[in-house]
Structure 1
Amino acid sequence: MKSKKIYLVRHGQTDYNLKGIVQGSGIDSSLNERGREQSRQFFDAYKDVPFDKVYTSKLKRTTESVEGFINLGIPHEMLSGLNEINWGTREGQVITPEEDAYYHWVIREWQNGNTTLPIEGGESPQDVYDRQKLAVEHIMSHEDEENILICMHGRAMRVLLCQVLNYPLHCMDEFEHSNLCLYLLNFTGSMFTVERFNDTNHLVPSEIGNKR
C-alpha cells in the first residue's frame, strides 16, 4: 500500500461546546461564529496542501469546518462511520453536577479497560471502534489518494487514533484535542506515525475551544 499523509482535524466550536451541552451523533449542530473563524484560519493555513480527498462525518459541523476546501472542488465524501459517539440520554442536556459525576464515572470505567460499557442509551467506545473500522478500510483502500483531510469529532477522533496507531482502546484519553486541532499522520505503507499532535498553531490563542 502506498504512503499517505492524513490531516485529521476536529470540527470547530459550536454553541453546544460553548455552553457545556452534550452533543453526540444525535445532535446535528452548526458551527458558531468562533467555529466559523476557526474554520477560516485552518483553511488559510492549509489551503495550499494538494488534498486529493476530503472525508467528513455525516454531521454538518464537520462539513462546515472544512467547507473552504470543499468549495475549491476537492472531492468530498461523508461517512457515518466517522460520526461522533452516541452519548445516549445525555445528548442535548446541560451538564449538571450529577450528570458530570456520571460522565466522569463512565470515563474512569473506560480508562480502566471496560471499553464495551455503553453510556446510558448510547454507544460504547468499542461500538465506535467497530463502525470506524469499515470507514478506515474504505479511506485506506484508495491508493491514489496521497494527501487526505479528515474532519470528525473529539471522542470519535480519540478512538480512531487508537485504532490506526495500535493503542489499546482504554488509552484513548491520552490523545488530547480541542476545536479545530490537527493531528498530522504519516502512513508509511505499513504503519502510521504522528508528525503533529493536537496542533493549534493555525489558531490564535483565544480561538482554542472546548476540549470535551
Structure 2
Amino acid sequence: MELIFVRHGETDLNFNKKYQGRIDTSLNQEGINQAKQLKDKLKNFKIDKVYTSPLKRTKETLEILLGDNQENISIYEEIRIQEIDFGYWDAVSYDKVMLGYEKEYEDFLRDYKNFTFPGGESFRDFYKRCVEFLLDIVDPKSSERVLIATHGGVIRVFLCHMLGLSKDMFYNFSVKQGCYTRILVYEGINLIEEINK
C-alpha cells in the first residue's frame, strides 16, 4: 500500500500567523498556486482512492490537484482528519494568544500532550481520532495508492504513529503547506519515500 499525505495550500490565516483549526477558510492566491504546483508534482501518480478533511481549504486543494480526474476516483470525506479544534484560539494570532491566554499558553508549552484548548479539543482526543482513522484504512496487503488531503497537525500524528514514535516527537516534524509526503506500507515496516515534496 502507498499513502500520500497532502497538506492544504496557504490561507490568509496561515499567512498572518493565526491559529487555524476548525474555522472554515478558503485558500488564498498563494495557496491556489501551491495546489497547482502540487498537481504538477503528482501528475504521474495514479491515485486509487482519496480521503479528505471536510474543511474548505483541503477540499479546494484537492479540487485543483485532481482536476478532471475527480469523476474517476472514489473520494471520501472523513471528519476524523479535520485539524484540531483550537476553540477560542481559532483565527487569533499567535502573539495575541500568548498575551490574552497567558496561563493557558504556559500550560500548553509545559505539557501539550495533556492540554485542552479553551473551548476546543484536547490533544489526546485529537491524536486518538487521527490514529483510529489510520488503523481503519491501512492494509499492508493492499496494492492501492491512497491520497489523504488534510492538515499539518494531522500529518504530524500520522508520521509519529507510522514511524513508531511517541507523542513527544509531534513538534519535531515540519509539514509544509501545499506539499506531499509519501509512505510505502509493508508488513512490519513503513518506509518514507518522500517528505515535504
What TM-score, normalized to structure 1? 0.81
Once the two structures are TM-superposed, the CA of residue 47 in structure 1 deviates from its matched residue by 1.8
Unmatched segments (≥5 aa) in structure 2: none
Provide the identity percentage.
30
Q: 2:165 aligns with which of 146, 161, 167?
A: 167
Identify the range of structure 1 (74-83 vs 158-167) with the bigger mean alpha-carbon deviation: 158-167
Are residues 168 and 82 of structure 1, via their aligned partners in 2, closer, same or farther at CA, if it must alter by over 3 Å? same
Count residues in correspondence: 192
Unmatched segments (≥5 aa) in structure 1: 200-212
- Equivalent residues in 2 for 1:25-104, closer than 5 Å: 25=22, 27-67=23-63, 68-69=65-66, 71-72=68-69, 73=71, 74-95=73-94, 96=96, 97-99=98-100
Separation of aligned partners in 2, 1:189 and 1:146:
15
Equivalent pair of 1:186/1:195 in contact (CA under 8 Å): yes
Are residues 92 and 194 of structure 1, via their aligned partners in 2, closer, same or farther at CA, if it must alter by over 3 Å? same
What code does the residue aligned with 1:155 have? G
Match of 2:66, SS state, is: helix
Match of 1:176, SS state, is: coil
Equivalent pair of 2:26/2:57 in contact (CA under 8 Å): yes
Equivalent pair of 2:9/2:178 in contact (CA under 8 Å): yes
Match of 1:187, SS state, is: strand
Paired position in structure 2 for 1:122: 120
Match of 1:136, SS state, is: helix
Q: 1:21 aligns with which of 9, 18, 41?
A: 18
What TM-score, normalized to structure 2? 0.87
Paired position in structure 2 for 1:209: none
Once the two structures are TM-superposed, the CA of residue 35 in structure 1 deviates from its matched residue by 0.5
